[in-house]
Each structure stands twice: as structure tokens, then as C-alpha cells.
């Protein structure tokens, strides 16, 4: 088995936890396809296997040391308190020591240990991963990406041809794992699809690279590399061994997490994450390549599972790994299916629950939401929760609203044309604001509907006053704005009324019932999974 010599001295260390730099009463070992992890008390030591593959080269002592030092650097960007240093392995393989004097014969990354249940993959498996963690994760990822180093024009990273090679590199181990099975033709279909999609998207990838979207990201952004620790979302275990896998389009990073949430049977949280990330980043252009990148990421996980199957002689472990290969291939096929575009508009004054009540809808039906309150603030460089009090003249001038709705219409056109279903979340109390969107749906030949939220004025005033007192919401509309909206709201005309879904905003909507006559569920959403 690969790395058996390393395994022998690592097990000797594990057998003597009292001799470690931070002595512990006991220790246990975990194995990945490229590493050994020694867990002892409050500490973890990570050793690189001396493996050489198509994607990693830990074949020499110098390469393993360099990889340890690089792992420390890239992960201190997001988890400096977890990554403590690089430690030499001294002595001899027969009598190894961590630290100490003498010539090192290997190296380890020293980490602070975290509780097992802090892993988001573990929380997901136990049904403990919810909206709060997902929203915090979207903020963490978007903030990390915004501050990440940008690939320069002369950088070798992030070209479409490089991604095509990375996609193709996943296929041989998978092919070996599924040879002679019913999944072999599925893999061949995915091979052809990724090649065609990669070629189609190459000009887009080049434009995004030139625009600064290729950055030094994480590279392995799945739930097994994320934590809920000390009350916040954390990223760790970024890829250190190959800069090609880390210097990537931000869309390719978030596609990994979106795919992984689907893989964990959590499609609603996948859509929640995607929309929360879009609100934070404003990068709706990422959706043009998202399906391709999500399929690529599913193939990455299938490849890892195939390698794990090939590295073990233990029957149960091999069977589990092969089952994972099959699961990720089926998911890749599912994610490659195009969505079915349709358009939904909200209609309702402030406090009617448009944003809160449509949140389940976007998660259940796989919609991309364009939220006017968020995009209005983005025009002024403000985050959703930022107050606008410092903006001269405020952010609600008529000229600003004209810019806002023109932008919403342009983005909706791009998304619908690319095949995404879209929800535009705005008051839409003026017919002149609604008409261009209805015309867009007609032009594209797409179904559309108006989600008309209705509530008694007294309840609306109560909600708006409470929201204003609490603060921190994207909407800053107060009671004066509400009264103006109530006075100037224009009713639906006959054509609009024919597309309207009336919603009693006093209670959570029963979306399956309300939308029975509207477009069907789409994509790999929860109702189809």
C-alpha cells in the first residue's frame, strides 16, 4: 500500500502520545488519500504521504517540507488560530520524535484540534446544519474571496485550457472504477458534456479572468473543510500542493460548496447558500459557468473516492468508496441538466413579507433572487446591512430608482437567457416598473407570475416600525415611506391580474398550493431529489 513506510513510523508516534511536544493520554490516526493525521489531546499533526500522482508530488523530503510550509501560509488566511506551525520529525523511523534536534527525516503541520462536531460535514450528517450557518458561511466565503490575491495578466493560472485539463485529469481513475458497469456510459456522456461546455464557456472564462475573478482561492471548498467554531463559520484545509487548483475563478470555488450541499441531500441549503453568496458578492455573472463548475466538482469528488477505493484492500472500505463514486457520478449527471427559466415578480409594500416569505420559495424551486433593497445599496458600495445615512441625498432618489430597475432588468435578462429561473424582489407598486419585466418574459417566451402580497395596513405599520427599531435589514423603509406606498400603489391591470398569485401575508404561504398553476419545480431542487 502507498506510504506503508510512513505509516509504520507514524503509528509508532501514535503509540507513544506521552512523548509528543504536547503530551496526551491517547492518540488516534486518520488517513486520507494523501495524508496521515495524528490526533492527540488538543493538537493535530498532519504528515504528507510520500505519494506521486498526476495532481500531487510529495515524493521527496524537500517537497513535503515545502508543502507543509505552503499549507501553513494558505490556511492562515482564513484560520490563523488553527494553523500553529511546521514541526520537524527527527530521530529515526524506528524511533521517531516530533520536534527536537537532529536532522529531520520528515515534516508535519501542527494544528489546534477542534471538536469533531464542529465540522460542517458532521453537522450536516446529524441534521444540525441550518440557515444560520449557511448565511454565515456565505458571508465568510464572499469576504475571503473579496480580499484574496488577484491573478495578474501574465499569471499562468486560471485559463480555460488549464481547467479543461483539470477536468480531463479526473476521468481516468473514475473510468477504472466504473469499467464494465452501467455507469461507464454515464461517464462517457459527462466527458463529452464537459468538453463541449468548456469550449462554449472559454470566451466567458477569459473575460472573467481579465476582470479579476481568478484569485488565490481555497480550491477544496466542501463541507469537510469547513467549521462552525466559536460561533462563526470557518474555512480550513485549502489546497497547498498545486496552485492550479487554488488560483481559480471565484465561481469555481463556490460551485464546490453548492455541489456538496446537493451531495449531502441538502438542495434547499444549496440554493440558500448560492443566493446569499450572490447578495454578498453581486457576481451574478458567475452563474453562467456554475453548472459546468459544479459538474467538475462532482467529478473531483468521484475521483477522490476512486483513488480511495484503489488504495485499500479492506472490502467494506472499498465498497463504500465505490458507492461514493457512483453517487457523485449520478449527481454530476443531474447537475448537468439545464434548468427551466421562468420569471416571478413580487408585489407588495414595505412590511408585507416579500423577502422573508419568498425565502422558502427560492430554496424549494431553485430560483435566483434579485433583491431591490440589496442592489440599491450595492449602487453605493454598501453591504446589505449597512446604513445609508452617510450617503449625500440618500439612496432613494428617483434617479437612483431608475438606475436600480434598469440594472435589475438587465440582470434578469442575462439570467433568464442563460436558463435560470429568476425572482425579482421589489415593491413593484408602480405599473411602469412592472411593465418592462412582463415584456421581457413575453419577448423570451417564458412563463411569468406576480406574487402579490396583501396585509392589513395596521399589521404593515407594526412590522415596519419593529424592523426599523431593530436595524440591520437591507430595507430602510420607515413609516413615512410605507404611507406613501399605500397612497400611490397602482393596482394590477387585467393582463397582470391574469398572472397574479394572491398571497395573504399574515401567514406563511403554502407555496405548492399557491403555485399549482405556475411553472413546475425545476432543476435538482428538493422536490425532485
Evaluate if residue 334 carries a pLDDT over 90: yes
- The residue among 380, 370, 382 whose CA lies nearest residue 343 is 370
Dump pLDDT digits (tens) for 296-331: 999 999 999 998 888 777 889 889 999 999 999 999
- The residue among 10, 81, 87 whose CA lies nearest residue 50 is 10
DSSP H or E stretch at residue 378: helix 372-378
Cell for 155?
499569471
CA angle (204 as vertex; 198, 206 as ends), nearest 5: 95
DSSP state of 150: B
- Cα-Cα-Cα-Cα dihedral sign, residues 61, 64, 70, 72: negative
Instruction: Please state the rounded mean pLDDT for residues 481-503.
Output: 90
Confidence of residue 388 (pLDDT cuts 50, 70, 90): confident
Evaluate if residue 519 carries a pLDDT over 80: no
- The residue among 137, 384, 385, 372 whose CA lies nearest residue 270 is 137
Cell for 117?
462536531
Cell for 106?
520528515
Dump pLDDT digits (tens) for 2-45: 446 788 999 999 999 998 999 999 999 998 878 999 999 999 99
Q: How far apart are CA 436 and CA 443, in angstroms?
A: 10
Q: Return the domain boundaries, the chain.
A: 4-113, 120-336, 343-514
SS (H, E, C) 224-264: HHEEEECCEEEECCCCCCCHHHHEEEHHHHHHHHHHHHHHC
Cell for 338?
439545464
- Cα-Cα-Cα-Cα dihedral sign, residues 261, 264, 265, 266: negative
Confidence of residue 457 (pLDDT cuts 50, 70, 90): confident
59: which residues sit within 8 A by CB, 6+ positions away? 50, 51, 52
Q: Is 410 exposed, middle or buried (0-12, 13-18, 19+ CB in 10 A)?
A: exposed
Q: How far apart are CA 339 and CA 335, in angstroms?
A: 9
Confidence of residue 465 (pLDDT cuts 50, 70, 90): confident
DSSP H or E stretch at residue 161: helix 160-169
- The residue among 226, 451, 494 whose CA lies nearest residue 360 is 451
40 with 20: CB under 8 angstroms? yes
Evaluate if residue 520 carries a pLDDT over 60: no
Across the chain, mean pLDDT equals 92
Q: How far apart are CA 219 and CA 247, in angstroms?
A: 8
211: which residues sit within 8 A by CB, 6+ positions away? none
Report the CATH architecture of 343-514: 3-Layer(aba) Sandwich (3.40)
DSSP state of 117: G
pLDDT over 70 for what percent of the chain?
96
Phi and psi dihedrals of 7, rounded to 5? -55, -40
DSSP state of 159: -
Instruction: Please state the rounded mean pLDDT for residues 432-447.
Output: 96
The predicted pLDDT at position 480 comes to: 80
Instruction: Please state the rounded mean pLDDT for residues 352-379.
Output: 94
The predicted pLDDT at position 521 comes to: 43
Per-range mean pLDDT, top range of 332-341, 436-445, 514-523: 436-445
Dump pLDDT digits (tens) for 224-260: 999 999 999 999 999 999 999 999 999 999 999 999 9
| Least confident stretch, 106-110, 113-117, 267-271, 351-355 | 351-355
The predicted pLDDT at position 469 comes to: 76
Evaluate if residue 421 carries a pLDDT over 90: yes
371 with 474: CB under 8 angstroms? yes
- The correct CATH number of 120-336 out of 3.90.1200.10, 2.60.40.3880, 3.40.50.880, 3.40.630.10 is 3.90.1200.10
Amino acid at each position: 500500500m502507498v506510504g506503508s513506510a510512513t505509516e509504520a513510523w507514524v503509528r509508532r508516534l501514535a503509540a507513544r502520545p506521552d512523548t509528543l511536544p504536547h503530551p496526551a493520554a491517547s492518540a488516534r490516526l486518520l488517513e486520507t488519500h494523501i495524508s496521515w493525521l495524528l490526533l492527540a489531546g488538543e493538537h493535530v499533526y498532519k504528515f504528507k504521504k510520500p505519494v506521486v500522482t498526476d495532481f500531487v508530488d510529495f515524493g521527496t523530503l524537500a517537497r513535503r517540507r515545502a508543502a507543509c510550509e505552503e499549507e501553513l501560509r494558505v490556511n492562515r488566511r482564513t484560520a490563523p488560530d488553527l494553523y500553529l506551525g511546521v514541526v520537524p520529525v527527527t530521530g529515526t523511523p524506528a524511533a521517531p520524535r516530533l520536534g527536537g534536534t537532529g536532522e529531520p527525516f520528515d515534516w508535519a503541520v501542527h494544528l489546534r484540534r477542534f471538536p469533531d462536531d464542529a465540522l460542517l460535514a458532521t453537522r450536516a450528517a446529524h441534521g444540525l446544519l441550518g440557515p444560520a450557518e449557511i448565511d454565515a458561511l456565505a458571508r465568510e466565503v464572499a469576504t475571503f474571496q473579496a480580499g484574496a490575491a488577484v491573478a495578474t495578466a501574465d499569471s499562468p493560472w486560471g485559463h480555460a485550457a488549464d481547467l479543461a485539463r483539470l477536468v480531463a485529469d479526473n476521468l481516468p481513475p473514475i473510468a477504472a472504477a466504473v469499467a464494465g458497469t452501467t455507469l461507464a456510459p454515464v461517464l462517457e456522456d459527462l466527458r463529452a458534456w464537459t468538453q463541449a461546455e468548456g469550449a462554449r464557456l472559454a470566451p466567458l472564462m477569459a473575460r472573467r479572468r481579465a476582470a479579476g475573478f481568478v484569485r488565490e482561492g481555497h480550491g477544496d471548498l466542501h463541507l469537510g473543510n469547513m467549521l462552525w467554531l466559536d460561533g462563526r463559520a470557518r474555512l480550513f484545509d485549502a489546497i497547498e500542493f498545486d496552485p492550479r487548483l487554488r488560483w481559480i475563478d471565484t465561481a469555481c470555488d463556490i460551485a464546490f460548496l453548492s455541489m456538496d450541499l446537493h451531495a449531502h441531500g441538502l438542495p434547499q441549503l444549496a440554493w440558500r447558500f448560492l443566493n446569499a453568496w450572490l447578495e454578498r458578492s453581486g457576481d451574478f455573472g458567475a452563474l453562467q459557468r456554475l453548472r459546468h463548475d459544479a459538474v467538475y466538482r462532482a467529478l473531483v469528488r468521484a475521483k477522490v473516492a476512486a483513488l480511495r477505493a484503489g488504495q485499500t484492500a479492506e472490502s467494506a472500505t472499498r465498497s463504500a468508496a465505490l458507492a461514493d463514486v457512483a453517487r457523485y457520478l449520478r449527481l454530476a449527471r443531474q447537475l448537468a441538466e439545464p434548468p427551466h427559466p421562468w420569471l416571478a415578480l413580487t408585489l407588495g409594500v414595505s412590511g408585507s413579507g416579500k423577502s422573508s416569505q419568498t425565502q422558502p420559495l427560492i430554496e424549494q424551486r431553485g430560483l435566483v433572487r434579485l433583491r431591490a433593497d440589496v442592489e440599491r445599496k450595492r449602487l453605493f458600495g454598501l453591504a446589505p446591512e449597512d446604513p445609508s445615512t452617510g450617503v449625500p441625498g440618500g439612496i432613494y432618489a428617483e434617479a437612483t430608482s431608475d438606475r436600480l430597475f434598469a440594472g435589475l432588468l438587465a440582470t434578469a435578462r442575462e439570467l433568464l437567457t442563460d436558463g435560470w429561473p429568476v425572482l425579482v424582489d421589489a415593491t413593484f407598486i408602480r405599473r411602469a416598473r412592472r411593465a418592462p419585466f412582463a415584456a421581457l418574459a413575453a419577448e423570451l417566451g417564458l412563463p411569468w407570475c406576480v406574487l402579490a402580497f396583501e396585509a392589513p395596513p395596521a399589521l404593515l405599520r407594526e412590522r415596519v416600525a419593529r424592523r426599523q427599531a431593530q436595524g440591520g435589514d437591507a430595507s430602510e423603509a420607515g413609516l413615512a415611506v410605507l404611507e406613501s406606498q399605500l397612497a400611490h400603489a397602482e393596482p394590477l391591470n387585467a393582463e397582470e391580474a391574469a398572472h397574479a398569485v394572491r398571497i395573504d401575508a399574515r401567514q406563511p404561504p403554502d407555496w405548492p398550493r399557491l403555485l399549482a398553476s405556475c411553472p413546475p419545480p425545476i432543476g435538482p431542487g428538493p422536490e425532485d431529489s
